Structure 1
Amino acid sequence: MELIRLKVEGFKKVHEIELDLADVNILVGANGSGKSSVLQSTHLGCCLIRQADRVDPMRTNTVSIEELDYLPTDDYKTLGHNSNWGNGTGSPSSNLSITFRKDDATEVTASCRIRSARNAGISVSGTVPVDASNLLRQKKKFFSAYIPGISGVPNKEERRSKKVIMKACSFGDSNVILRNALLLLKEENDQNISQIEEWLSRVIDPVSITVTHDDAQDLHIRCWISYQGLDRPIELAGTGFLQLIQIFCYVLLFNPGILLIDEPDIHLHPNVQEKLAGVLAEIARARKMKVLMTTHSPFIVRGAPVDAKVYWLQEGAKKSEDRSAVELAIGWGAFGKRAILISEDADVSFLRKIVSQWPEIERNVAFFPGNGFKNLPTPEQAKELHDSLGSKFKIIVHRDRDALTDDEVNQITGKYRDLGVDVWFPKGSDVESYFCFPQFVEWFLNCTLAEAQGHVASVLAQSAIPIRQQFDKQRASHNEEIHKQGGSPTNNDVWAAFQARELRGAKGKFVLGQLKNQIGQQVFAPDKILASKLNGQVAVDLKHMIEQVLAI
């Protein structure tokens, strides 16, 4: 029989999620989206089905906390979705359904309802068809194996019994007992260590693992890793090595029906992440095993085979299973967001600083830096991006106002808005201009408005020539872009109109640098501004625009 579907209900973040399974299955999404909840509920349910004396739809059976081979938390009553587990019929509970396809193409489903027992333990009820019992109800055979990640190993390990090893590993605590797990595998079959080494060689360079223990002479297990001509004890191996060894060790130790891996990318180089996804797919097919893993990494998704299932979770539910949209969203850093703000600036520090004034907006916006206005997406490209992401994100394009007239700004804005894309032009020449306005200087320096106006006026007067030269250069670019057929206003006319503005045609980036020199970099400098706590009143025009776009 083949495992083809999982359904989780009422567990932690998850209200209800059903997953059709391929050999490799990947859950992506922001922190708190329910990814780990799916893995933990699956492993807990599989352990309870196996460990309960019976699984009956009409009668409950209790598995004591001491007996359990896995429990995400000692405060297990809190594992319910939006309410604590109860201990009576009809009280809050969680449910796991596991569906298999038989050789004749018919399907059978095992289910497990989980809630608190009246005493210290977990109450289990449900159904396990006879056809599925051989897979799910073997006392000494785990159907699931769960790997929550690894954070290093202790310097020493005394030898433990197989029961202790299996229980610790089932709890996800293999880092404290990894030498024991490797020794157990070696003693059960000499080829097990060679198999782990072979899998490792497909992901990284060849690695040799030596693990020994003499019951008559050794107090602790001895384990070395040989890599690129160097021998070192396992405790000195990099965390990435340990992560890979742990994953492959679990495959052989449990020989599970489903391998659950939580964020395997954390300690691995992007190239290794891509290779790992491919190797796991090969292992899954060869061993008739399913792999279900969570990730924030585009490299894990990219390295997965074309038939892998990729699910995007949000707020405990499936948001999409469109792999191309998922890959784009990961690349744009947009999980958990509602809008992507594409900037023409390569350094978006000041833009981020502005948005950080408003936490509700900040939580909903992803930033994407650019390389000048000429490299911003065109209206058509921005629309294509919006559509390729499944219309799940608002696209906002940030373009500097520079030396554009109001009519030119409106012309550019209209082209984007005609295709459903919003564009934001700063009130001044650029984002940095907000930090050069006299009102901000007054607030930041705690000086009078007259003093702040004096600082700005002094910079504009002393740098009048380079400011005008930069302005004329920008006008040349604008004319080439907008007025190829002619009809542009003269530079002098545009310059004259800009003299009524706060910075009188000067670039904020330039003025900010001059203010730093004039006032003193120990007092007024970009790093000082970025480290400060703004008052929520900087660039409120951007705030109002995003609120309107997101209907906040």
Structure 2
Amino acid sequence: MIKKVQFTRFKQFDQSTFTFTPSNVTFLAGGNNSGKSSILHGLAIWEFCKIASLMERGEDAFLAVAEGRQGFGLGDDEFSPVNVPSLKHLWTNLKTAKGESDPDGYTLKIRCDWEYSGEEKHLEFALSLANDRLFIKPTSSNLDAADRVPTTALLPPFAGIAAREARIVGALRRRRIGEGLAGAVLRNLLLEMYQVNLKEREKLRQGRSKIADNDLIRLRESDPWELLQDALRKTFSAELVMGEFREEYHSYINVQVSKGDVKGYKLTRWPKYNPRDLMVEGSGFLQWLSVFTLATAEDVDVLLLDEPDAHLHPTLQAQMVDQLEQLASQTGKQVLLATHSTEILRSVSHERIFQVRKQGAGYLQKDGQRVGLLAGIGSDYAPRLDRVRKTKRVFFIEGSSDIPILRKFASILGIAWNDAWIPWQTTAPHKERAHIFKAISEEIGGLVAYSLRDRDDEAIESVGDLLEEKGYRAPPGFNARKWRRRYIEGYLINPRAIAEAAGMPEEEVASRLRDDFAYAIGSTFQNSAAPTAILDMRAKEVLSAFKVSAHEVAACFKPEEVCEDIVTILQQLDSGAG
């Protein structure tokens, strides 16, 4: 398994090192453009350099004895691991020329470290670009002829499947996958796997009519085709049916899907069900199939999955992760899985989540860091965070109507609204909001947060005199507040204001409040310590009954009608809350 990857002038990584733990599956997470895919692409290019070196220079091409040899050149049309507009896009800031500190033109470097037979091994390739030709050479290696070098394989999100797929050679298959068209070679991969299985079955049969039970058990537990079929039966109640393919006769590869009832290793086709071509299956099925076709391949040690959750239902995402972990453990493979899926990142232990960000990368040390990650902190494109960086104020609110209502009340009361507060809407409790606050604080010094939550069904006694949440120890700079009433709409059930907003007599509103909802609104309505019936009222249902919005009612309030709690919140926000 690969333990460390070092990049020099590769894409956004001018000088970067990433260290991975030997767990079977590592989940790469981070904001858009943080570098998750670039790490996978770098490993795919390292693999390409390894294969190209073998083809061009022979078996000792990247052994320790090869250091110091001259590199070899390839045309840009021969570069296949990833799809780029031009090869100069592999270099940081598109700068391919050597600098004063560079001894030659080999300015881009990718190094991998791993352990083999208890010893630390490494292999580094350097790349140079001249006249649209890519030059490759090994620049550091401690490998001997007997050492095993990991084999990596990149799989981007599924795309490119067509009605007909011809037999194609390995180089072209790698190019199609590098172009993001894994679907264009899926039938080829399945055919090779199937043919290997047929040969192994024939070998085990040894001229007999059937394979011995012990041999069949071992085959089913280790053979890639058997493992894939078993996973398909368990997940989709389906099997693949390979059509006959002879190189000298058939032009296209035929793969169909059969579905039915599963019992153990046997699938009984549903009555009147006709197998159908692989192409007509849903995108989720095809995405899953492409992942597990590569995952079961015997010649792959390190599987690089770029958003394999694309097209998958959340339930199937969880199943895919479970099956991948089981398969990786069973076969000894290493999986680096880049994902944006909140379902996946919530379900796996934080120790296996590798966060990639500009400030550095590494495994999460605490489960609380997961909250900031899921909130998108660390993303290059984060307009909300850009605003927070300028103001150093973040306002956590629960509903989309909270701020418009508060702004309206501020205008009515003549209290200045502090635009420095950048809204961050979330239904999470204060504890999780504090995790987000801490994560942002790592990037933005001097940050202050104001967190305002609905009380909902929680006890009234949990709210203090200044609307602070009792019993919660907030971190420095984090102001935790909670409405004394069930939610902000509870401060709007004013018969006169509702009447004005609804265009109906005040007496009719008061009568309906009393008769339909058992609410008698008196002079204590504006007090913070209002009667329990007022504090617990389900005000959203009331406003809905009168067919008025919360903002419309708030706009009709007079200064003397605004509750003391509203005034408290607005004054705290106006002061900057810290």
TM-score if structure 1 supplies the norm length?
A: 0.67
Q: Which residue of 2 aligns with 1:102?
A: 116
Which secondary structure state, in structure 2, belongs to the residue aligned with residue 392 of structure 1?
Answer: helix
Mapped partners of 2:107, 2:424: distance in 1: 35
Equivalent positions of 1:65-80 (< 5 A) are 65-80=76-91
Identify the match of residue 392 of structure 1 among 439, 444, 451: 439
Count of residue correspondences: 472
Q: Which residue of 2 aligns with 1:488?
A: none
Change (3 A) 1:366 1:516: closer
Identify the match of residue 357 of structure 2 among 314, 324, 331: 314
Q: Which residue of 2 aligns with 1:226?
A: 258
2:290 is matched by which residue type in structure 1? Q
What is the deviation of 1:366?
Answer: 5.7
Q: Which residue of 1 aligns with 2:468?
A: 412
What is the deviation of 1:119?
Answer: 1.4
1:310/1:323 contact within 8 Å kept: no
Q: Which residue of 1 aligns with 2:230?
A: 198
1:311/1:323 contact within 8 Å kept: no
What is the deviation of 1:150?
Answer: 0.6
What is the deviation of 1:68?
Answer: 1.8
Which secondary structure state, in structure 2, belongs to the residue aligned with residue 368 of structure 1?
Answer: coil
Which secondary structure state, in structure 2, belongs to the residue aligned with residue 87 of structure 1?
Answer: coil
Q: Which residue of 2 aligns with 1:440?
A: none
Mapped partners of 2:282, 2:124: distance in 1: 40
Identify the match of residue 209 of structure 1 among 227, 231, 241: 241
CA offset digits 1:83-123 (Å, max 9, x no partner): 213133548954322112232x33222223345x1111334
* Structure 2 residue runs without a partner (length 5+): 199-222, 261-269, 386-392, 407-417, 442-448, 529-533, 554-566
Which secondary structure state, in structure 2, belongs to the residue aligned with residue 261 of structure 1?
Answer: strand
CA offset digits 1:485-519 (Å, max 9, x no partner): xxxxxx95533669xxxxx999984686477569x
1:10/1:80 contact within 8 Å kept: yes
Q: Which residue of 2 aligns with 1:19?
A: 19
1:428/1:508 contact within 8 Å kept: no
Mapped partners of 2:119, 2:574: distance in 1: 51
Over the aligned positions, Cα root-mean-square deviation in angstroms equals 5.2
Q: Which residue of 1 aligns with 2:415?
A: none
The answer to which of 182-191 and 36-45 deviates more is 182-191
Q: Which residue of 2 aligns with 1:86?
A: 96
CA offset digits 1:336-378 (Å, max 9, x no partner): 58799776x6xx45459999xx99987x846226xxxxxxx4x
Mapped partners of 1:31, 1:495: distance in 2: 48
Identify the match of residue 316 of structure 2 among 259, 272, 278: 272
Mapped partners of 1:359, 1:70: distance in 2: 49
Change (3 A) 1:415 1:281: closer
What is the deviation of 1:17?
Answer: 4.1
CA offset digits 1:146-174 (Å, max 9, x no partner): 01111362122233234433443455422
What is the deviation of 1:143?
Answer: 2.0
What is the deviation of 1:400?
Answer: 4.8
CA offset digits 1:37-71 (Å, max 9, x no partner): 11111211221243245665685543322222313
Change (3 A) 1:255 1:366: farther
Q: Which residue of 1 aligns with 2:39?
A: 38
Change (3 A) 1:98 1:517: closer
Q: Which residue of 2 aligns with 1:534?
A: none
Q: Which residue of 1 aligns with 2:509?
A: 463
1:267 is matched by which residue type in structure 2? H
What is the deviation of 1:456?
Answer: 6.6
1:33/1:313 contact within 8 Å kept: yes
Q: Which residue of 1 aligns with 2:2?
A: 3
Change (3 A) 1:367 1:187: same
Mapped partners of 1:419, 1:472: distance in 2: 41
What is the deviation of 1:544?
Answer: 10
Change (3 A) 1:7 1:436: farther
2:121/2:143 contact within 8 Å kept: yes
Q: Give identity over the alignment, percent.
A: 17
Equivalent positions of 1:92-241 (< 5 A) are 93-103=107-117, 105-115=118-128, 117-131=129-143, 143-151=151-159, 153-169=161-177, 171-190=179-198, 192-215=224-247, 217-228=249-260, 229=270, 230=273, 231-241=275-285
CA offset digits 1:385-429 (Å, max 9, x no partner): 467779425775433599x9xx96515368657654423568999
Which secondary structure state, in structure 2, belongs to the residue aligned with residue 197 of structure 1?
Answer: helix
Mapped partners of 1:331, 1:292: distance in 2: 19
Following TM superposition, the consecutive aligned residue runs of length 4 or more in structure 1 with deviations greater than 6 angstroms are 132-137, 330-335, 337-342, 352-355, 358-362, 386-390, 425-429, 432-437, 468-474, 504-508, 541-544
1:27/1:294 contact within 8 Å kept: yes
Mapped partners of 1:467, 1:507: distance in 2: 12
Which secondary structure state, in structure 2, belongs to the residue aligned with residue 38 of structure 1?
Answer: helix
Mapped partners of 1:10, 1:163: distance in 2: 26
Q: Which residue of 1 aligns with 2:210?
A: none
Mapped partners of 2:246, 2:86: distance in 1: 40
Which secondary structure state, in structure 1, belongs to the residue aligned with residue 77 of structure 2?
Answer: coil
Change (3 A) 1:461 1:11: farther
Which secondary structure state, in structure 2, belongs to the residue aligned with residue 410 of structure 1?
Answer: coil
Mapped partners of 2:396, 2:372: distance in 1: 13
Residue 423, structure 1, aligned to residue 480, structure 2: yes
The answer to which of 235-244 and 169-178 deviates more is 169-178
What is the deviation of 1:182?
Answer: 1.4
What is the deviation of 1:260?
Answer: 0.1
Residue 51, structure 1, aligned to residue 48, structure 2: no
2:427 is matched by which residue type in structure 1? F
Mapped partners of 2:121, 2:292: distance in 1: 30
What is the deviation of 1:241?
Answer: 1.8
Mapped partners of 1:196, 1:208: distance in 2: 9
What is the deviation of 1:247?
Answer: 1.7
2:40/2:306 contact within 8 Å kept: yes
Change (3 A) 1:181 1:130: same
Mapped partners of 1:149, 1:547: distance in 2: 49
Which secondary structure state, in structure 1, belongs to the residue aligned with residue 78 of structure 2?
Answer: coil
Q: Which residue of 2 aligns with 1:445?
A: none
1:147 is matched by which residue type in structure 2? L
2:76 is matched by which residue type in structure 1? I
* Structure 1 residue runs without a partner (length 5+): 370-376, 438-450, 475-490, 499-503, 519-523, 526-538
1:84/1:92 contact within 8 Å kept: no
Change (3 A) 1:274 1:432: same
Equivalent positions of 1:332-347 (< 5 A) are 336=379
Mapped partners of 1:295, 1:546: distance in 2: 40
What is the deviation of 1:462?
Answer: 4.4
TM-score if structure 2 supplies the norm length?
A: 0.65
Change (3 A) 1:169 1:360: farther
1:18 is matched by which residue type in structure 2? F
